[in-house]
Amino acid sequence: MIEDKNQQRTSLENLGEFGLIDHLTKNFDIKHKSTVKGIGDDAAVLDFKSKKIVVTTDLLIENVHFDLSYMPLKHLGYKAIMVNLSDVFAMNANATQVTVSIAVSNRFSLEALEDLYAGIETAAKIYNIDVVGGDTTSSTTGLIISVTAIGELNEEDIVYRNGAKPNDLLVVTGDLGAAYMGLQVLEREKEVFKVNPQNQPDLDLYSYIIERQLKPEARQDIVKLLKDLDVKPTSMIDISDGLSSEIIHICKQSKVGCDLYENKIPLDPQVISTCEEFKIDSTTIALNGGEDYELLMTISQEDFPKIKANPNLTVIGFITEESRGMHLVTRGESRIPLIAKGWNSLSDQE
Ligand code: ADP
Ligand code: MG
């Protein structure tokens, strides 16, 4: 569906494992003092002095987590880094290093891996992180990418999932549901393409939601913003599986309940119009869509004046006593229990 403009095809066999690693990693420069040794030895060496360290890993598997028929490899490289940085930022930490491991079959050419690494390199540049290692191996089927991200922060700045207190405000960054709707559009175009390969889809109407699916941004800016506003959330989590599931994580771990207001959930106009076109309820998508990579946090009422004018932060509800349970307050003002469907099971609702 997405035309392969890179016509040259160099087989991986010609390079050998070490040649390939050297080739793919030659442009990575070191930006952080904490990176004492990066790529090139048996292990990287890091020195964080008195800081606390956060470490997180994600595994991405072809045809489970991504589909190369509409995901350009450059975007995939970028997204693989974002998915991990998002977890680092959700701890309120500053991301500093990543390792990138790949398993590839001989279906992939050197040029294809160059594209993947171009995306990784762009992400490393924009987000100011060092790529300090990884592993390269062959796979008999598709492409597998595993990224581990490392971040640093002072102990007193760490924000866990379990600190939410009754009366805290429930706050979300950005808008929700766009990545999922972008995926629906891409899946639809893939089906159209199968029937008519000559068809050139006009995707202008969906540019924002497709970009949210193919090229998400992790919210590094929010960690900085919170510092600038002098606000430390009482709890925080990144939104990878859908708002509903993440709220439930915070409530269960913090032993609290919540009231989430349907009419406060931030939606982009393109999400609303595409939901209408697909005849799906936009609240369902925001609650269960996933892959938003926004941050969900709880903030003490005292901090409300500091955040209320900020366009990046939307108050969507508040925390209650655990005994009150977790609820969605609908536009019609009925209170319905929150359940986590997760984006995987969305296909079998209706
Ligand atoms: P080892 O045999 O000890 O696993 P490798 O030969 O696999 O070492 O790796 C050599 C160096 O290259 C190490 O620093 C390793 O972290 C790095 N490296 C290997 N594969 C990748 C990759 N796909 N991306 C980034 N760095 C890599
Ligand atoms: Mg190795």
238 and 331 co-located in one domain: yes
238 and 341 co-located in one domain: yes
CB atoms within 10 A of CB 44: 19
Cα–Cα separations (whole angstroms), residue 267 to 29, 84, 256, 273, 283: 38, 24, 26, 10, 9
Which residue stretches of the chain have pLDDT < 70? 1-7, 342-350
- What is the predicted pLDDT for the residue at 349? 42
48 and 151 co-located in one domain: yes
Number of the ligand closest to the Cα of 101? 1
Domain of 275, CATH number, reads 3.90.650.10
182 and 148 co-located in one domain: no
User: Does a structural domain hold residue 6?
Assistant: no
254 and 106 co-located in one domain: no
Range of the domain at 315: 169-348
260 and 138 co-located in one domain: no
Asked whether residue 130 is marked as a ligand-binding residue, the answer is: no
Cα(97) to centroid of ligand 1, in Å? 15
- What is the predicted pLDDT for the residue at 249? 97
Which is the closest atom of ligand 1 to the Cα of 117?
24
d(CA 87, CA 94): 11
The residue out of 122, 157, 192 marking a domain boundary is: 157
Task: Specify the pairing of strand 130-138 against strand 94-104.
Answer: parallel
151 and 105 co-located in one domain: yes
pTM: 0.94
Asked whether residue 42 is marked as a ligand-binding residue, the answer is: yes
- Which protein residue's CA is at the shortest distance from atom 24 of ligand 1? 134
- What is the predicted pLDDT for the residue at 195? 87
CB atoms within 10 A of CB 40: 11
102 and 177 co-located in one domain: no
- What is the predicted pLDDT for the residue at 254? 98
- What is the predicted pLDDT for the residue at 7? 65
Query: Which residues have C-beta under 5 Å from ligand 2, the single-atom ion?
Result: 135
Q: Considering its fold, how many domains does the chain have in total?
A: 2
- What is the predicted pLDDT for the residue at 197? 84
- What is the predicted pLDDT for the residue at 6? 55
The residue out of 157, 180, 197 marking a domain boundary is: 157
Digit-coded pLDDT (tens) for 8-47: 788 888 888 889 999 999 999 999 999 999 999 999 999 9
Q: In 3D, which of 266, 270, 269 has the Cα closest to residue 287?
A: 266
